[in-house]
Amino acid sequence: MISIIEQGCIDIWIDEIVPCLGDTKTDEIQGLVGERNDKDPYAAYMHWACTAPNLIQKWRLAMNNNELKRLNRELQCEGFITKYYKDTVQLPNGKTAIYDFVGHKGAAAAVAVLDDGRLLMVSQYRNALDRFTIEIPAGGLEPGEPTIKAAAREVEEETGYTCGKIEPLITIRTTVAFCNEKIDIYLATDLKKGEQHLDEDEFVNVKAYTLEELEEMIYGGIIEDAKTISAILAYKNKYCPNQVNSNE
């Protein structure tokens, strides 16, 4: 599925596709689209996509021929977690542009669910925001460390619980405009209470919340962390799809 779909406007799809189709006539595409439905542009697109898959393939091939090309990547600054670069990129029109790029070593996180259904959350100070936040357990990868082991390790270090079972939930890219950070998020269950193993610069408080409480904090603006919001809603959608918030 192409990202333009998410913009929910069939006019944009046509404007993007038509210039790449060469001798394909605009009225042919319009006929395939059929009657536009502003209330459900996705359904209109699917009608078009199912009717003319060859046009989509032709459009994708044309787009591939117009890809941007990175000419150079120059390190500007190196930190403990990230590296900052300036990239020189050749554009489809032949000109060049300078892009910021932040390289990240990668991270792992987990939705840790107790036997009673509550989720373990950690509260810690985040310097970038200059305040405490509520998040799922997460952390950076050690060199060569598989993300599934890192997620289990972070659960134990930050919450004091070990997980008897851990399985993939979702993978997210946190800031695609300028950073390659990737976080593999897992579901950790069969939890056994132990002791925290925090780093010297970590001060983490742990508290268990119901899924309903967490949803209220998300929509109330208390939880703003992207990985946490993504993980909680993915968990609800996959494992608790019929659970309804009592305030709805």
* Active-site residue list: 200
Buried b (16+ CB within 10 A) or exposed e, 87-99: eebeeeeeeeeee
What is the DSSP track for 194-231? ------TT---EEEEE-HHHHHHHHHTTS---HHHHHH
Q: How far is CA 105 from CA 82, 138, 145, 147, 163, in A?
A: 7, 14, 11, 11, 24
Cα separation of 79 and 126, whole Å?
16
Name the β-bridge partners of 113. 119
DSSP 105: -
- Cα distance between residue 20 and residue 38, in whole Å: 24
**β-pair partners for 192:** 162
Half-sphere exposure for 33 (CA within 13 Å, toward CB):
23
